[in-house]
Amino acid sequence: MTQVPHRWLMAASGEPMIKADFDPFPPSDGEVVVKVAGCGVCHTDLGFYYGGVRVKHALPLTLGHEISGRVVAAGAGASEWQGKAVIIPSVIPCGECALCASGRGTICRLQKMPGNDIHGGFASHIRIPARGLCLVDEERLAAAGLALADVSVVADAVTTPYQAATEAEVRPGDLAIVVGTGGVGGYAVQIARAFGAAVVALDVDQAKLDAMAGYGAALAINVGQVKGRDLKKAILEFAGKNGHPDTGWKIFECSGTAAGQDTAFGLLTYGATLSVVGFTMDKVELRLSNLMAFHARALGNWGCLTELYPRALDLVLDRRIALGPLVERYPLSDINEVFAAAHAHKLARRAILVPNP
């Protein structure tokens, strides 16, 4: 029986999402239709659904921006993608404006974000621009013990911290500190380690911290138990004992919480770089003069340049980033139950919703 294309629509914040059939064919010029293999459930999706974060597309809207799948139809100018296994960028730049031409495609004002600007990946199919698609080498994928659905999370959970590490200029010998090790933060730990840094992992969840030792963290600290000046002192002592620098720290705030942002800012030291990767609507009170006094810098990070996707995917396929143990697949038909479990922090791994056969 041929699968009828369908997607799950959010009609209002917090209301159960509803399945609806639709016709994604034919794609227009420069577009493709992708049969979705999997779509990851991201903290941002929860913000749209529960937190009142506004989407740009009028409701009802299909959420989901961590998408992998296979191209089943291609419009004029995109025929080379027909039949290919791909990852869809979570931020698709126009590729033609002055910002894109200057290498700043993530802030392209004509960008399209699935599940925000256009219908997203919690669906059987999605029609999207072909620009920036990341080809997946299926032989390497199989050799890494992964399914195509698994690499959907590369589109945000992996590429976003990859770009953050790139822009923060993480180098061998650096000391990197990751605040929040669930989801994006777990990959940030691995990426910073792959870049050659010694990594300190911070979280309030001891189980997550215990796991980080196996993913490259040289030190894990429970910030529910060690806080403020004592936290910074503990990191300084670790750095001193192990020959790591006490300046120029690369700090990645991945928790997407006010408490995490406050912790990250409090760890600024001379020449430090603070990269804000997680998102929250909550406000924090900071003394910005610390940036001046420490001659430090703070960087925002929205998505990832599409040209960086293949390098991030290489780390996964080369097994320098462990992906499989940190994800779990669920049927797309369970979307409402999975969202509720993710919102209640009942999921130990990042959920990937897989369309039903």
When computed from its CA atoms, the radius of gyration of the chain, rounded to whole angstroms, is 20
Q: Which amino acid is at 113?
A: M
Instruction: List per-residue pLDDT tens for the chain, 357 residues long.
Output: 467 999 999 999 999 999 999 999 999 999 999 999 999 999 899 999 997 889 999 999 999 999 999 999 999 999 999 999 999 999 999 999 999 999 999 999 999 999 999 999 999 999 999 999 999 999 999 999 999 999 999 999 999 999 999 999 999 999 999 999 988 999 999 999 999 999 999 999 999 999 999 999 999 999 999 999 999 999 999 999 999 999 999 999 999 999 999 999 999 999 999 999 998 889 999 999 999 999 999 999 999 999 999 999 999 999 999 998 999 999 999 999 999 999 998 998 999 999 987
Q: How far apart are CA 22 and CA 10, in angstroms?
A: 15
Same domain, 133 and 87: yes
Domain total in the chain:
2
Residue 52, C-beta contacts closer than 8 angstroms, at least 6 positions apart: 13, 281
Same domain, 101 and 38: yes
Same domain, 167 and 291: yes
Same domain, 169 and 271: yes
Q: How far is CA 176 from CA 287, 298, 352, in A?
A: 22, 14, 28
Q: Which domain holds residue 335?
A: 6-156+304-354
DSSP state at residue 126: E
Residue 187 placed within a domain = yes
Q: How far apart are CA 235 and CA 258, in angstroms?
A: 21
Q: How far apart are CA 37 and CA 318, in angstroms?
A: 21
Half-sphere exposure (Cβ direction) of 63: Cα atoms closer than 13 Å = 27
Last residue in a domain, options 254, 278, 300: 300
Q: Is residue 183 within 8 Å of 350, Cβ to Cβ?
A: yes
Residue 230, C-beta contacts closer than 8 angstroms, at least 6 positions apart: none
